[in-house]
Amino acid sequence: MLSQLVFSGLLALSLAAQQQPLKSGKQPLTPFDDAFNEKVEWVCDHFDIPGLGIAVVKNETIYSKGYGQSNIQKSQPVTEHTLFFTGSTTKAHTAAAISLLVDDNENYPSIQWDTPVHTIIPEDFVLNNTWSTTHITISDILSHRSGLPRHDFVWNANISLQEAVRSMRYLPLTAEPRTQWQYCNLMYMAAAHLVESVTGLSIHDFLKERIWKPLNMSETYLSVPEARKAERHISEGYYITQDGVLKSTNQANTDTIRGAGNILSSVSDYAKWIFAILHRKQPISEAGYNALFSAHSIMLGNTQKPYQSPPLYGFGWMSQTYAGETIVYHDGSQFGYGAAVLMIPGRKFGLVILGNNMNGIAAGANVLAFHLVDELLGVKDEDRFDWAEIGDAMMNGTHLPSNVIPVLYPSTPDPPLPNPLLLSAYEGTYTHPAYPDLQVSLICPPEAPKLNETDRKFPHLCASFMNPSKYTPDMVLGLYHVTGTFWAQIVDFWGLPVVSRVEFRIEAEGTASWMGIEVEPMMAVKGEKIWWRRV
Question: Do residues 27 and 171 share a domain?
Answer: no
The alpha-carbon radius of gyration of the chain (Å, integer) is 24
The pLDDT, as a whole number, for residue 495 is 79
Question: Do residues 183 and 263 share a domain?
Answer: no
Q: Cβ distance 191 to 138 under 8 Å?
A: yes
Question: Do residues 269 and 379 share a domain?
Answer: yes
Task: Tell me the one-letter amino acid at 216.
Answer: N
Q: Domain end: 396, 430, 449, which one?
A: 396
Question: Do residues 142 and 184 share a domain?
Answer: yes
In-domain check, residue 206: no
Question: Do residues 389 and 416 share a domain?
Answer: no
Question: Do residues 73 and 137 share a domain?
Answer: no
Q: Cβ distance 50 to 361 under 8 Å?
A: no
Q: Cβ distance 264 to 220 under 8 Å?
A: yes
| 58-79 burial: b if 16+ Cβ within 10 Å, else e | bebbbbbbbbbbbbbeeebbbb
In-domain check, residue 304: no
What's 209's DSSP letter?
I
Q: Which long-range contacts (CB under 8 A, 24 or more apart) does 506-513 make?
A: 506/420, 506/421, 510/420, 510/421, 510/425, 511/421, 511/425, 512/421, 512/425, 512/426, 512/428
In-domain check, residue 204: no
CA 412 to centroid of chain Cα atoms: 35
Question: Do residues 125 and 42 share a domain?
Answer: no
The residues, ordered by sequence, that sit 6+ positions from 309 with a Cβ below 8 Å of its Cβ are 303, 320, 321
Question: Do residues 386 and 436 share a domain?
Answer: no
Paired sense of beta strands 349-355 and 51-58, if any: antiparallel
Phi, psi dihedral angles at 419 (to 5 degrees): -65, 125
CATH number, position 267:
3.40.710.10
What's 432's DSSP letter?
-
| 246-278 burial: b if 16+ Cβ within 10 Å, else e | bebbebbbbbbbbbbbbbbbbbbbbbbbbbbbb
Q: Give strand pairing partners of 490.
A: 478, 499
The residues, ordered by sequence, that sit 6+ positions from 346 with a Cβ below 8 Å of its Cβ are 325, 326
Q: Domain end: 396, 418, 436, which one?
A: 396
Question: Do residues 114 and 163 share a domain?
Answer: yes
Number of domains comprising the chain: 3
CA distance linking residue 243 with residue 249, whole number of Å: 16
CA distance linking residue 189 with residue 203, whole number of Å: 10
Question: Do residues 230 and 357 share a domain?
Answer: yes
Phi, psi dihedral angles at 370 (to 5 degrees): -80, -15
Task: Tell me the one-letter amino acid at 478.
Answer: G
In-domain check, residue 303: no
In-domain check, residue 440: yes
CA distance linking residue 150 with residue 333, whole number of Å: 14
CA distance linking residue 335 with residue 493, whole number of Å: 9
Q: What separation in angstroms does the CA of 107 have from each of 101, 192, 199, 292, 329?
A: 8, 18, 10, 21, 32
Q: Domain end: 396, 418, 437, which one?
A: 396
Paired sense of beta strands 428-431 and 349-355, if any: unpaired
User: Structural domain of residue 62, as residue ranges?
Assistant: 4-89+219-292+324-396
3-state class (DSSP) for residue 175? coil
Q: Cβ distance 85 to 337 under 8 Å?
A: yes
How many helices (H) and strands (E) in the chain? Answer: 15, 22
Question: Do residues 385 and 269 share a domain?
Answer: yes
Residue 189 sits at the vertex; the CA angle it makes with 183 and 192, to the nearest 5 degrees, is: 130
User: Alpha helix locations (H) across 221-298?
Assistant: 224-229, 267-278, 286-293
In-domain check, residue 138: yes
The pLDDT, as a whole number, for residue 17 is 38
Question: Do residues 112 and 170 share a domain?
Answer: yes
pLDDT mean by block of 10 residues, the chain; 535 residues: 32 37 52 96 98 98 98 97 98 98 97 98 97 98 98 94 98 97 98 98 97 98 94 96 88 94 98 98 98 98 97 98 98 97 98 97 98 97 97 91 88 95 97 97 89 74 93 89 96 87 95 96 96 97
DSSP string of 348-413? TEEEEEEESBHHHHHHHHHHHHHHHHHHHHT--GGG---HHHHHHHHHHTTS--TTHHHHH-TT--
In-domain check, residue 341: yes
CA distance linking residue 56 with residue 274, whole number of Å: 9
CATH number, position 439:
2.40.128.600
In-domain check, residue 313: no
Q: Cβ distance 78 to 52 under 8 Å?
A: yes
